[in-house]
Chains A and B, each alone.
Chain A
């Protein structure tokens, strides 16, 4: 088991290295010169050349890649071309915001979704199940901007209970932060819960058609226990992967929600940087997103293995 985890960890590092190459290379082949972009359309050729020298753009790509990689490993992602501040200081604030939003959403959505998936499966075919299944489908098909806008319309504009924008200022206390986070979190919780609950139900449903489930029925095991114990134990692996993908999405793919609530998260930082050709920031964001995906999938696989007795086979019997 430990061997497998170490091996997977090595593979993960290798993947990240390849990704870093791709990210760097992709930024290299983008049309337009970074120096030109930084100085704007009306810069004189002399100025551009001077800046190129200053930024070290005349040196070979491989050398710049290695410097960038070593720097990134030490937390130094270079300087933003737009704000001229270190990328790392831009990142740290945004990263904390994204982690807060994604973390709170995950903590609420994942247990809720799995519970809903299990309960609807237990009550298969009853009114609650049918209503819930239709709602899951409808909600996961609803575009986030619509959902978020409706929430704002209802709670911020009509009722006036909550702020329409989720602006986090440094001095705000817990109450203010919570109020600010409430609407964006709610929109994301709804979308993610609907997705995961739907998948949970589908995974459990396919497990329920297995012969060992029929055997459990014929042993006189009540349905609640069949779904919640016999089936759920076998659903851990696939479920972990579904959850991992959804959490990764919360980190990197929530630009719409961040924009609607003017929430200063990573996804918006990435979009803004792409628009302003702020390549060091784009590179840093891309690396963080990839790392999130790869690490989450790694965690999901390890969890799946922990629940699979096959992978524990090396253990001697007496320890069991």
Chain B
């Protein structure tokens, strides 16, 4: 194939403290080629992606090797030279478009800004080009949508603006850093399809960073696997996916297949015959704002029912804005419902936590997605667990100590972790402590709100196994909230699907996910990334076919009210 656009040669980047972030990394991206970088968080993929454009985050320094972008040594080039390259030769597509657009500047102005500064396009020409790209990316009302501010479009639309911004000056190389990771699965399909088409139609080369092998397999020509700052394996996509050479690659692929719908097939059926009901939720209506006529101003849950038995995992699935987290908060007593009841073994619970008895509060525990923010960084693990034991069980001294060691053992952490601070733990370990904290109360019902979403695939797999073990050993009733069907498929006994605050389908997990009755469930199932080639095209076709049925009519820019696709 053609000439090299990007050549990374024995690159070394380290923190100022001397810790190596990239260690002797070499790779090449040729014209029109998509090279995917995969690896767990902390493997250095983002550092490498940024270095491709000559950018290093504060605290990092260049310790060896070079990065050559279209003939320029970008780590040595002065700023004016870099500014002429960035956007024009190499464009960057950031992970979270929501954070990467300036909230106070109109989207259209941000899209054309580099082109105007580079004098590569005249103002009218740049605007025309932007409108053309908006149309190409199926953004609604392409002639006018550019005058919106970032908060006025949905997450999926914003990510398309990000791609449009990258395409504005027809760069030779697009550096995409997890471009779809922050999106819902169904939106991810659409954005991936557009991105793939854009790269192919313009014969653009791309460096595509992702932690998700299945996503990468749809778009990459070649795949490079990174681990701890080194490249462990590079090869053609088919070779890496089907015949990986390295043990680590095999682990990644195993984790990817472990957490997929395929795992449903080889899962032993585990149907409890009528388990005793632990928690039942009936016709919950909840939302925000003043309640009028039994309905809040903005209603997020419209009469939701849910039942969990002892020793059972019930998954609640849905995309952002479907009301999953509101439901978790209602059950935990953090959000008072406008109407409906939550009952614990038949005994109705008060709407708010503070009106429940200590016993009732103890029996329902919540574990949240961001263990980072849920654990006080200034408290040692001993204090985090100890407080719960003292509060609910009055345990102190040796008894508390023994119980804490038990709890850590339960989540597979050594006893000496009691002395640690949360910042000294990895993401997976923090989530284990977060679970141990919930278990310290000795609950009957455990609500897990997206507990694996912030974790890498392999670590997420371990947490899933832990939750299953806890269910079996402690007979907990678990409500497992997730947007990720693959995770749910590997863990849930029963599934409830939420859309726009309504239950669209509920039933036994294997049945719902293998033979979904509701079109929305069908769309969700089709949107789960699969390793096989051609999955993306199939998923996009399914989406197209279901569009009318699901009333996913694209909003136009005529007024402000029909932003149906927008997230709250």
A222 in the interface (beta carbon within 8 A):
yes
Task: Name A316's contact: one of B99, B100, B117, B559 (CB within 8 Å).
Answer: B559
Contacts of A234 in B (CB 8 A): 102-104
Q: Which stretch, B82-90, B195-203, B415-423, B486-494, touches the partner chain A?
A: B82-90
Q: B residues touching A (Cβ–Cβ < 8 Å)? A: 50, 53, 55, 57, 79-80, 82-88, 91-92, 94, 96, 99-106, 113-114, 117-118, 144, 147-149, 151-152, 165, 557-560
Enumerate 23 A-B pairs (CB-CB under 8 Å) in ascending A order. A211-B99, A211-B100, A212-B100, A212-B101, A215-B101, A217-B86, A218-B92, A218-B94, A219-B86, A219-B87, A219-B91, A219-B92, A219-B113, A220-B117, A222-B79, A223-B79, A233-B104, A233-B105, A309-B151, A310-B149, A317-B144, A317-B558, A318-B144
Contacts of A222 in B (CB 8 A): 79-80, 83, 117
List CB contacts (< 8 Å) of A263-320 with chain B: 307-310, 313, 316-318, 320
Cα–Cα, bound, A217→B100 (Å): 11
Contacts of B144 in A (CB 8 A): 317-318
Contacts of A310 in B (CB 8 A): 149, 151
Contacts of B165 in A (CB 8 A): 219
A52 in the interface (beta carbon within 8 A):
no
In contact, B152 and A221 (Cβ under 8 angstroms): no
Closest CB of chain B to A232's CB: distance in Å?
Answer: 10
In contact, B85 and A220 (Cβ under 8 angstroms): yes
Task: Name B99's contact: one of A210, A217, A219, A320 (CB within 8 Å).
Answer: A210
In this complex, which of A217, A220, A317 has the most chain B Cβ atoms within 10 angstroms of its Cβ?
A220
Q: A219-B114, A309-B104 are in contact. Are A212 and B560 (CB under 8 A)?
A: no
Q: A217-B55, A218-B50, A317-B558 are in contact. Are A212 and B86 (CB under 8 A)?
A: no
Contacts of B92 in A (CB 8 A): 215, 218-219
Q: A310-B151, A317-B558 are in contact. Are A218 and B103 (CB under 8 A)?
A: no
Chain A 227-241 interface mask (CB, 8 Å, partner B; 1/0)? 000100110000000
In contact, B100 and A220 (Cβ under 8 angstroms): no
Closest CB of chain B to A227's CB: distance in Å?
Answer: 13
In contact, B102 and A317 (Cβ under 8 angstroms): no
In contact, B117 and A313 (Cβ under 8 angstroms): no
Q: A220-B83, A222-B117 are in contact. Are A212 and B102 (CB under 8 A)?
A: yes
Closest residue to B95 on the A side, CB-wise? A211
A216 in the interface (beta carbon within 8 A):
yes
Contacts of A219 in B (CB 8 A): 86-87, 91-92, 113-114, 165
Inter-chain contact count A-B, CB under 8 Å? Answer: 87
Closest CB of chain A to B463's CB: distance in Å?
Answer: 27
Q: A211-B94, A212-B99, A215-B94 are in contact. Are A220 and B84 (CB under 8 A)?
A: yes
Closest CB of chain A to B495's CB: distance in Å?
Answer: 35
Contacts of A210 in B (CB 8 A): 99
Closest residue to B97 on the A side, CB-wise? A215
Closest residue to A208 on the B side, CB-wise? B58
Cα–Cα, bound, A297→B118 (Å): 41
Contacts of A220 in B (CB 8 A): 82-88, 114, 117-118
Contacts of A218 in B (CB 8 A): 50, 53, 55, 86-87, 92, 94
Closest residue to A312 on the B side, CB-wise? B149
Chain A 184-205 interface mask (CB, 8 Å, partner B; 1/0)? 0000000000000000000000
Closest residue to B102 on the A side, CB-wise? A212
Cα–Cα, bound, A221→B99 (Å): 17
Contacts of A317 in B (CB 8 A): 144, 147-148, 557-560
Cα–Cα, bound, A218→B100 (Å): 11
Cα–Cα, bound, A212→B118 (Å): 19
In this complex, which of B85, B88, B99 has the most chain A Cβ atoms within 10 angstroms of its Cβ?
B99
A179 in the interface (beta carbon within 8 A):
no
Cα–Cα, bound, A318→B83 (Å): 34
In contact, B100 and A215 (Cβ under 8 angstroms): yes
Closest residue to A314 on the B side, CB-wise? B560
Cα–Cα, bound, A32→B71 (Å): 86
Cα–Cα, bound, A221→B109 (Å): 13
In contact, B152 and A313 (Cβ under 8 angstroms): yes
A126 in the interface (beta carbon within 8 A):
no
Cα–Cα, bound, A310→B104 (Å): 9
Chain A 134-170 interface mask (CB, 8 Å, partner B; 1/0)? 0000000000000000000000000000000000000
Contacts of A308 in B (CB 8 A): 104
Contacts of A216 in B (CB 8 A): 102
Cα–Cα, bound, A212→B88 (Å): 18
Cα–Cα, bound, A25→B217 (Å): 76
Closest residue to A235 on the B side, CB-wise? B104
Contacts of A233 in B (CB 8 A): 102, 104-105
Closest residue to B88 on the A side, CB-wise? A220
Closest residue to B89 on the A side, CB-wise? A220
Cα–Cα, bound, A317→B146 (Å): 11
Cα–Cα, bound, A223→B82 (Å): 12
